[in-house]
């Protein structure tokens, strides 16, 4: 059984956060950030939450689904707001939030989870979503991909 589109991204972030906590406790590799400086991680957590909220708001305005396990139910290609800078701002927000969690934990171990999180999410969620959106929205979606990065950034 393929895990593609089967596990909601909120589960992946919970697993990632738990693994980060476990690595920090079990293998407390080199302390990178000491208290109270580690509290700056809350800024990243808040930023990640704000990015996610902005994306959800744009989906609501467009009247389309926010269910990541059923991308075929998308009724609109959203290119406005935060979607003008990231094709996947909800996942970007999750990654930023996990980076904040790593800062809060303060050691090197949690940072090892972030690339794994991004890779898993790209393979099991984003890639399959993109295939569905390409089928649903065709040339409009291709044009969007040509101008806005998967994670972040505008293109020429």
d(CA 138, CA 151): 20
Alpha helices, DSSP H, located in 29-70:
41-62
Domain that holds residue 66: 34-147
Residue 33: is its pLDDT beyond 80? no
What pLDDT is stored for residue 2 in this prediction? 63
Residue 16: is its pLDDT beyond 80? yes
What pLDDT is stored for residue 136 in this prediction? 95
What pLDDT is stored for residue 29 in this prediction? 72
Whether 116 maps to a domain, the answer reads yes
Query: How many structural domains is the chain composed of?
Result: 1
> Which string of DSSP letters, residue by residue, matches 103-149?
HHH-BSGGGGHHHHHHHHHIIIIIHHHHHHHHHHHHHHHHHHHHHB-
Whether 15 maps to a domain, the answer reads no
What pLDDT is stored for residue 121 in this prediction? 93
- pLDDT level of residue 30 (50, 70, 90 thresholds): confident
Mean per-residue pLDDT for 85-96?
97
Neighbours of 117 (CB within 10 A): 22
Whether 13 maps to a domain, the answer reads no
- pLDDT level of residue 156 (50, 70, 90 thresholds): low
What pLDDT is stored for residue 154 in this prediction? 75
Q: Read off the pLDDT of residues 72-88 as tens digits, 9 standing for 90 and up.
A: 899 999 999 999 999 99
Whether 6 maps to a domain, the answer reads no
Whether 27 maps to a domain, the answer reads no
């Amino acid at each position: 059984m393929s895990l593609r589109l089967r596990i909601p991204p909120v589960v992946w972030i919970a697993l990632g956060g738990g693994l980060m906590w476990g690595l920090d406790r079990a293998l407390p590799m080199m302390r990178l950030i000491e208290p109270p400086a580690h509290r700056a991680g809350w800024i990243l957590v808040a930023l990640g939450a704000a990015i996610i909220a902005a994306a959800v708001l744009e989906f609501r305005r467009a009247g389309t689904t926010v269910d990541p396990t059923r991308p075929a139910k998308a009724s609109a290609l959203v290119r406005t707001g935060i979607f003008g800078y990231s094709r996947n701002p909800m996942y970007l927000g999750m990654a930023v939030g996990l980076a904040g969690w790593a800062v809060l934990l303060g050691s090197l171990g949690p940072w090892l989870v972030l690339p794994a999180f991004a890779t898993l999410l790209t393979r099991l969620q984003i890639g399959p979503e993109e295939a569905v959106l390409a089928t649903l929205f065709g040339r409009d979606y291709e044009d969007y991909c040509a101008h806005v990065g998967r994670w972040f950034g505008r293109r020429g």
